Amino acid sequence: MNPGLNRRTFVRRLVLGAAGAISMPGLTYPARAATPLRIGLLAPLSGPLTRVGEANRSCAALALDEINAAGGLLGRSLELRVEDTQMSTAVALDKARQLFMRDEVVMITGMVLPSEREAALQAASAAQRLVVYPNFDEGRCHAQLLTTGLAVNQRIEPAIEWLMREVGQTVCVVVSDIGSNRRVLVPEIQASIERHGGKVLDVSWFPFGTRDYGAVLQRIASLGPQIVWHSIGDDPVTFVKQYRSFAMKPQLVSDIAHESLCIATEGASTGTIGVSSYFMSIDNVANSDFLKRYTAHYADAHVPRLGPYAVVLPHGENTYAGIRLFAQAVRVSGSVESDRVKAALPGVSISLPRGTTGVSHDGAHVLCETRVAQARADNRFELLDSAGQIVPVCRG
């Protein structure tokens, strides 16, 4: 020891030196390792889509609790940070920036609207972090994006193929008038129908806020199609109720049909054919366990029940799936950096409520079964057909 230093001075300098070493960038040390990894949940928790946002939040909490119970990720626990998009693109962008910059989340999920997704991606590009979009989409691909709902070709082609074979070949289409529907969804429906020998008789576009579909339903009835495909995104409940009130005969089909909408339409959805990666009626151990855990610990009292279980929206299962896939890719890559996680995703395959699920070669979309099912009078879906591992088509 330096003779000019007494014992107290020496110990004080040793402690300060250690503290300085801890603050040096690039070091790994126990204090940092104990800090939780934060996951951002950016969802519409107010407005017409509140139920969807709440389901996403609950399913995210379930995924985090399961991961934490199994030891967390990279030796650290997970923590959920939640923000409300208020169904506003500007608010979503501001909140996404807060989650990335202020809260230092390693990824964001929970968005419902494409505009919310794009706002989150703008912030993610600057932060070089990942966005996991838990909804079906038009085939959007981006370096910072994983989508856990089906891409448009994954849900349209198998559904149309089955319908043309089992139901009929003349179709009227009714859709919400948004850009992705005009650019991608309707052209995909038309092309698929033509490939399978069918014919589109009419396409009707409805701006958000439409609540009176009477004139169009009368026109469709006069055309006499065998099938009516609807993608009314803002108020499908009103549309389906009016469809039944007009005693429409064509088979009603939708890519947004699920148990919660069946309950909300009070019987009007019975007989509707839906296409999705997830229905509550999927018969496997992972789904049964998922529904039990969700009902027991995460569903609010006001969430409707279907038999013994709380109703789980497909968006919620998509949120759960996205976090579980992200976590597995983090384990494989040993990192939360978005480029390393994306590179690891194509090698990931895990058991989920929807069944065994992997990720496309570009890390952009899921690879899983596409299911065609029909709504019954008890609000459950009877599975009619399935197609697996359809490679998604990227559309920018």
pLDDT per residue, tens digit, the chain (396 aa), is 444 444 444 434 433 343 333 333 333 333 345 799 999 999 999 998 999 999 999 999 999 999 999 999 999 999 999 999 999 999 999 999 999 999 999 999 999 999 999 999 999 999 999 999 999 999 999 999 999 999 999 999 999 999 999 999 999 999 999 888 999 999 999 999 999 999 999 999 999 889 999 999 999 999 999 999 999 988 999 999 999 999 999 999 999 999 999 999 999 999 999 999 999 999 999 999 999 999 999 988 889 999 999 999 999 999 999 999 999 999 999 999 999 999 999 999 999 999 999 999 999 999 999 999 999 999 999 999 999 889 999 987
Residues 138 and 251 in one domain: no
pLDDT for the residue numbered 8:
42
| Secondary structure class of 282 (helix, strand, coil) | coil
From CA 297, how far away is CA 67, in angstroms rounded? 15
Q: Are strands 107-109 and 355-359 parallel, antiparallel or unpaired?
A: unpaired
**Domain count of the fold of the chain:** 2
From CA 12, how far away is CA 8, in angstroms rounded? 6
pLDDT for the residue numbered 301:
83
Domain assignment of residue 21, yes or no: no
From CA 282, how far away is CA 255, in angstroms rounded? 17
> What is the CA angle 86-87-90, rounded to 5?
85
93-102 pLDDT, tens digit each: 999 999 999 9
> Distances in Å between the alpha carbon of 109 and those of 52, 106, 292, 335, 388?
13, 10, 23, 18, 25
From CA 365, how far away is CA 351, in angstroms rounded? 16
Query: What residues make up the domain containing 160?
Result: 153-276
pLDDT for the residue numbered 145:
98
Domain assignment of residue 22, yes or no: no
Residues 141 and 164 in one domain: no
Residues 309 and 338 in one domain: yes
Residues 112 and 169 in one domain: no
Residues 297 and 254 in one domain: no
The model carries a pTM of: 0.89
From CA 112, how far away is CA 318, in angstroms rounded? 11
Residues 337 and 299 in one domain: yes
